[in-house]
């Protein structure tokens, strides 16, 4: 079943727990508070969401599951998105892929950017193809990307990448420990989700 977000809540559908978007905002605030101990105020966190995986050589995808760190940070259910957080202010910016008119037959009419912004309770919503341009305007002193190994699966996180990222100063060593530690210590919202599950 596809995850849906409506009225500022994340839900898997009728008769399931509705998780308020405040949970994800609180997660971002906790992460930023910890990161500010080691980075300067013009630092940004850049995360890349998951992408759909085709079922062998067909045009059918496996059921999409969002990249866990991206979901913990933003609560976004759509694939192929990016998220950006200004560490000192906590302002969040989500980037969504454009859906070609021809694909709306199968994917349905996409939300407009204001609808995404309201759905996920973030400060800004833009299209993925404007990510580089947005970062140019923001002039980050440093961009933190996620790179690290899962100690259970031994698999490595997929580091955010987009065309032109090499123009910016990047660090892929700081973020993983901080975000992983934040995910271990649960908020009251997260405890409620765990009790429900």
Q: Tell me: the pLDDT tens digits for 70-80?
A: 999 999 999 99
CATH code where residue 54 lies: 3.40.350.10
- Ramachandran class of 120: left when φ > 0, alpha when ψ lies in -120 to 50, beta otherwise: alpha
Query: Is 12 part of a structural domain of the chain?
Result: no
Do 28 and 86 meet the contact criterion of CB atoms below 8 Å apart?
A: no
Question: What is the per-residue pLDDT across 38-56, written as a single tens digit (0 to 9) for each?
Answer: 999 999 999 999 999 999 9
Cα–Cα dist 165/20, whole Å: 32
Query: Is 97 part of a structural domain of the chain?
Result: yes
Query: Is 5 part of a structural domain of the chain?
Result: no
pTM score, whole prediction: 0.94
Query: Is 103 part of a structural domain of the chain?
Result: yes
pLDDT score at 13: 82
pLDDT score at 1: 43
Query: Is 76 part of a structural domain of the chain?
Result: yes
Do 82 and 116 meet the contact criterion of CB atoms below 8 Å apart?
A: no
Count of domains for the chain? 1
pLDDT of 180 strictly over 90? yes
- Domain range enclosing 139: 20-196
Query: Is 48 part of a structural domain of the chain?
Result: yes
């Amino acid at each position: 079943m596809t995850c849906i977000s409506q009225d500022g809540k994340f839900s898997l559908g009728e008769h399931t727990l509705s998780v308020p978007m405040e949970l994800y905002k609180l997660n971002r605030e906790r992460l930023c508070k910890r990161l500010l101990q080691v980075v300067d105020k013009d630092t940004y966190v850049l995360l890349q969401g998951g992408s759909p995986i085709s079922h062998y050589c067909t045009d059918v995808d496996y059921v999409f599951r969002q990249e866990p760190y991206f979901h913990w940070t933003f609560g976004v259910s759509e694939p192929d998105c990016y998220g950006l957080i200004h560490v000192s202010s906590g302002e969040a910016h989500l980037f969504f892929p454009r859906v070609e008119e021809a694909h709306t037959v199968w994917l349905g009419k996409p939300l407009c950017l204001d609808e995404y912004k309201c759905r996920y309770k973030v400060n800004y919503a833009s299209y993925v193809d404007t990510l580089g341009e947005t970062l140019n305007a923001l002039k980050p002193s440093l961009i933190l990307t996620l790179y690290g190994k899962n100690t259970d699966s031994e698999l490595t996180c997929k580091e955010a990448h987009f065309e032109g990222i090499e123009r910016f100063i990047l660090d892929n060593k700081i973020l993983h420990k901080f975000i992983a530690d934040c995910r271990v210590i649960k908020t009251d919202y997260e405890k409620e989700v765990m009790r429900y599950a």
